[in-house]
Amino acid sequence: MSSRTKARKRALDILFSADVRGDALAVALAAEAKRAASEPEREASWLYAREIVDGVIDHGDEIDEQITTHSRDWKLDRMPTVDRSLLRIGTWELLWNDEVPTAVAIDEAVELAKDLSTDESGAFVHGVLARIARSN
């Protein structure tokens, strides 16, 4: 597993836990930063995970607007938490990280959805991110 794949999983953990607990994303990020300081062996995944979460914090309203616009009849608060978090990560990568090719951003989110969410989540995440990619 590449360090970026590990970083995406780590960012997903942060977004998911903040969402489930009702914590501010900045609070969850600070807690993970404290933990990361004691785990230098995981530094490679931490740096990109932090970049992702910072990006989601900085562009949260725009990201959620994109997801809502392109999710076709799915309200954000009705989506499984894992899917919502993956869509936020994927949308940030698609729209604000020029270093990640579109296909990679979508594929990584889809693979995590297949592994960690419902049977339909991979197709759902793919559809929403593909529509976002085409519209921008």
CA 57 – CA 42 distance, rounded (Å): 22
- 57-62 CB contacts, 8 Å cutoff, 24+ apart: 57/25, 57/26, 57/29, 59/92, 59/95, 59/96, 60/25, 60/88, 62/95
Whether 98 shows a pLDDT value over 90: the answer reads: yes
Give dist(CA 79, CA 68) in Å, integer.
10
Band of residue 78 on the pLDDT scale cut at 50, 70, 90: very high
- Give residue limits of the domains in the chain: 3-135
Domain 3-135 part of CATH 1.10.940.10: yes
* Residue 48 token pair: 């990109």
What is the rounded distance in angstroms from the CA atom of residue 19 to the CA atom of residue 112?
17
pLDDT of residue 35: 87
Classify the phi-psi angles of 117: left when phi > 0, otherwise alpha if psi is within -120 to 50, otherwise beta.
beta
| The model's pTM | 0.95
pLDDT greater than 90 at residue 36: no
Give the mean pLDDT of 47-75.
96
